[in-house]
Structure 1
Amino acid sequence: MLDISQLVSLGSERAIKKTVSVDDTVGNSSLYLEQFLSTSACINMVVRMATEMVDQALPQGFISVGYHTEITHEEPTMMGAEVSYKVVLKEIDGNRLTFDFEISDKNGIVSYGKHVRAVVNYTKLLEKAKERMST
């Protein structure tokens, strides 16, 4: 069995700064919200950051997949604002990795939560998905 704790370290983190663009508002379901950072854009960036952190450390044939995400989006942030994303690996439990994340702008925290990824064998994942399609 793959020992993930030998490949990635607890406390590992990734941080980026980004200016909110029109692409970051896609996913808002209301015309009134089209100029605001969307919750879906927040999740997409967190998932991307966590995936990059983990997958580059995995041996060939293994990938990480999203398992669970919790997000609280407390404050509005508009297009043109600079936001900071921070993702920290907080727990490794078997094949599951739990990340805490925080998104902030110049006025403080905008959004926070946790994201869990599972490390899986890609070939087995593909086989399972194909089996589900055939039943």
Structure 2
Amino acid sequence: MHMGKSYQVSAKVDEGMLASALGSGDVGVLATPVMLSLMEQAACACVQDCLKEGETTVGAQIDLAHISAVPAGMEITATAEIIKIEGKKVLFKIFCEDREGIVGKGTHLRLIVNRDKFQQRAAAKVK
């Protein structure tokens, strides 16, 4: 894992990805939660090959601006680039683009955790 490493995830915006379909708004444009999900997918994939056996990453913080509307039918590309590594913390610059330019941008912090221990701690809340 190194600073500057990046990964991209692309998708064609379909009807199920619209704010009106998800209830995050009532307009027929790319929903912010979908854009964010693609950015998180890019961040996860960016570090996946650098993790030790049993490790995974979990999202811890997001600072995001949704700048431009995207209608159904357009292709978008989400990118995550490592900008800081501090122990088990990995900070990414995240952005999403369509053919017209930037759709959204921000930063995303992910934490490297032991998958099993993390899952066990979460499951213990159900008691």
Compute the TM-score of the two structures, normalised by the length of structure 2. Answer: 0.87
8 Å Cα contact 1:27-1:41 kept in structure 2: no
Q: Which sections of structure 2, spanning at least 5 residues, go unmatched?
A: none
* Counterpart mapping for 1:1-135 below 5 A: 8-25=1-18, 26-31=21-26, 33=27, 35-134=28-127
- How many corresponding residue pairs? 125
Compute the TM-score of the two structures, normalised by the length of structure 1. Answer: 0.83
SS, match of residue 89 in structure 1: strand
CA offset digits 1:69-113 (Å, max 9, x no partner): 111001111111122222101111111101111112222211101
AA aligned to 1:131 is A
SS, match of residue 118 in structure 2: helix
Q: Which sections of structure 1, spanning at least 5 residues, go unmatched?
A: 1-7
8 Å Cα contact 1:21-1:80 kept in structure 2: yes
Larger radius of gyration: 1
Identical-pair percentage:
22
State the shift of 1:62 in Å. Answer: 0.9
CA offset digits 1:9-44 (Å, max 9, x no partner): 11101124332112321424333x1x2011000111
Alpha-carbon RMSD? 1.6
